Amino acid sequence: MVRERLIFFILFFAAGCGNSTRHQTTVSVQAGSPQPTSAKQKTISCESGIPSRFAAATTLTQQPGSTTTPPSGLPHPGMVWIPGGTYRMGGDSKEAQPDEYPKHTVTVAGFWMDRTEVTNAQFAAFVKATGYITTAEKKPDWQQLKKQLPPGTPKPDESLLVAASLVFSPPDHPIPLDDYSQWWAWKKGASWQHPQGPGTTIEGKDNYPVVHISWYDATAYCKWAGKSLPTEAEWEFAARGGLKDNVYPWGNESVNSGKTKGNFWDGHFPDRNTGVDHYYHTAPVGSFAPNGYGLYDMAGNVWEWCADYYNNDYYSKSEGLTDPKGPAKSYDPDEPYATKRVIRGGSFLCNDSYCSGYRVSRRMKSTEDSGMEHLGFRCIAHR
Ligand SMILES: [Ca+2]
């Protein structure tokens, strides 16, 4: 049976851990099928080498005037105080991408940060209290969607404009890693309550990170909780855990050496997962050792939203800033019409043979309305 073939522009960043040049939005979807197929050739540009080993990281020195003492009087259950300080923000290894440079000096004031990613139970409490409906649970508004697409982009078939989200759906055989639509499916009914689509639930997963969360959803939750999303500078400062110029939250040891360090993709991506870390999808928050500040899963498990717009060139204008809030406008040269926010930390799909999303300096971006199976968040508070 011949079915009409449509080009459906789904606004999302690359699958799991790709770098900037892989972040295309075009996904070809065959009408009536939940499984996208290849749309157009994309350039492989993921890191393929093993991370270099570096000398032992040294402890970050607190700067005069930085906020190192938490405000007293207010309880912050589930949060940890991150002392302020001055640090060098940006790439520290050969895996670093152009948008991680120039490495530059930034100062951040102290803040509280959630020890873990926001869980299903926490998000459920928010929904119960407010009746909030997430972006993934709503039908896409074509009038809004087309504003982020090149002029003249045809409207997709109505059958595709349904409440849906992107679910990891890999092939069972090795494939070229130049087309992430090979392992992502636009699945009707997928949402935070149904992470792999209809028929799947979060029952028994109260302490797993909530996923399929858009930037709007994350912002709404944080506001309800009396908190906010971290800026990109705050997130990276926190991820470094008090170390200096470290590649990962734990230091500089390769992600593949020593004790299991987080929930990543073990094996050959995306077709074979050897399960070394015991988790194929997400893991309960806090399943692996925290970093020096007591923060869990700052590398792997799920990507985490930041407050900032994404601009690939922002670091060239950030030297010496205190508490930078990000650029005034979003700009991603790969998708100049899309409005994107920064996401950080990598996910359970990150694999060292394919990418390095778990590096503390790794920048990624996603459109504000995107939800994915490996995208969540955590909050901060300044008082
Ligand atoms: Ca894993």
DSSP letter string, 89-147: ES--STT--GGG-S-EEEEE--EEEESSPPBHHHHHHHHHHH----GGGS---HHHHGG
Coil, helix or strand at residue 322: strand
Q: What's the CA-to-centroid distance between 70 and ligand 1, angstroms?
A: 35
Can you tell me the distance from the alpha carbon of 379 to that of 116, in angstroms, rounded to the nearest whole number?
Answer: 9
Q: What's the CA-to-centroid distance between 269 and ligand 1, angstroms?
A: 11
**What beta strand segments (E) does the chain contain?**
5-9, 26-30, 79-82, 85-89, 104-108, 111-114, 164-168, 184-188, 267-268, 272-273, 303-309, 321-322, 340-344, 364-367, 375-376, 380-381
Q: What is the pTM of this model?
A: 0.85
pLDDT of 288 > 50? The answer is yes
Q: In the chain, helix, strand, coil percent, each to 5?
A: 15, 20, 65
Coil, helix or strand at residue 273: strand
Q: What's the CA-to-centroid distance between 191 and ligand 1, angstroms?
A: 21
pLDDT tens figures, 14-32: 333 443 333 333 333 222 2
Is 126 inside a domain boundary?
Answer: yes
Structure tokens of 17? 């851990």
Q: What's the CA-to-centroid distance between 162 and ligand 1, angstroms?
A: 30
* Candidate ranges 60-64, 256-260, 321-325; pick with highest mean pLDDT: 321-325
pLDDT at residue 67, rounded to an integer: 64
pLDDT at residue 66, rounded to an integer: 52
pLDDT at residue 148, rounded to an integer: 83
Q: What's the CA-to-centroid distance between 326 and ligand 1, angstroms?
A: 31
pLDDT at residue 11, rounded to an integer: 36
Q: Are 166 and 35 in contact (CB under 8 A)?
A: no
Is 203 inside a domain boundary?
Answer: no
Indicate the range of 67-81, 183-197, 297-311 predicted with least confidence: 67-81
Is 272 inside a domain boundary?
Answer: yes
Q: Residues 115-131: what's their mean pLDDT?
A: 98
More confident call, 56 vs 344: 344
Is 190 inside a domain boundary?
Answer: no
Q: What's the CA-to-centroid distance between 277 and ligand 1, angstroms?
A: 5
pLDDT tens figures, 72-117: 667 799 999 999 999 999 999 999 999 999 999 999 999 999 999 9
Element of type H or E holding 319: none
Can you tell me the distance from the alpha carbon of 204 to that of 55, in angstroms, rounded to the nearest whole number?
Answer: 42
Can you tell me the distance from the alpha carbon of 8 to that of 42, in angstroms, rounded to the nearest whole number?
Answer: 16
pLDDT at residue 144, rounded to an integer: 85
Domain span holding position 343: 59-132+208-383
Indicate the range of 135-144, 202-211, 309-318 predicted with least confidence: 135-144
Phi-psi region of 226 (alpha: psi -120 to 50; beta: other; left: phi over 0): left
- pLDDT band of residue 149 (cuts 50, 70, 90) is confident
Q: What's the CA-to-centroid distance between 380 and ligand 1, angstroms?
A: 26
pLDDT of 351 > 90? The answer is no
Give the CA radius of gyration of the chain: 20
Is 181 inside a domain boundary?
Answer: no
pLDDT tens figures, 153-167: 888 888 889 999 999
Which are the contacts of 350, defined by CB distance < 8 A and separation ≥ 6?
Answer: 16, 17, 264, 265, 300, 356, 357, 358
Q: What's the CA-to-centroid distance between 375 and ligand 1, angstroms?
A: 15
pLDDT at residue 56, rounded to an integer: 26
Is 180 inside a domain boundary?
Answer: no
Is 249 inside a domain boundary?
Answer: yes
Can you tell me the distance from the alpha carbon of 308 to that of 327, in angstroms, rounded to the nearest whole number?
Answer: 7
Is 271 inside a domain boundary?
Answer: yes
Q: What's the CA-to-centroid distance between 181 and ligand 1, angstroms?
A: 20
- Bridge partners of 82? 111
pLDDT tens figures, 362-374: 999 999 999 999 9
pLDDT at residue 269, rounded to an integer: 92
- CATH label of the domain that carries residue 382: 3.90.1580.10
pLDDT at residue 73, rounded to an integer: 65
pLDDT tens figures, 232-241: 999 999 999 9
Q: Residues 225-229: what's their mean pLDDT?
A: 97
Domain count, the chain: 1
Of 308, 135, 126, the C-alpha closest to 223 is 126
Burial of 1 (0-12, 13-18, 19+ CB in 10 A): exposed
Mean pLDDT score across all residues of the chain: 84
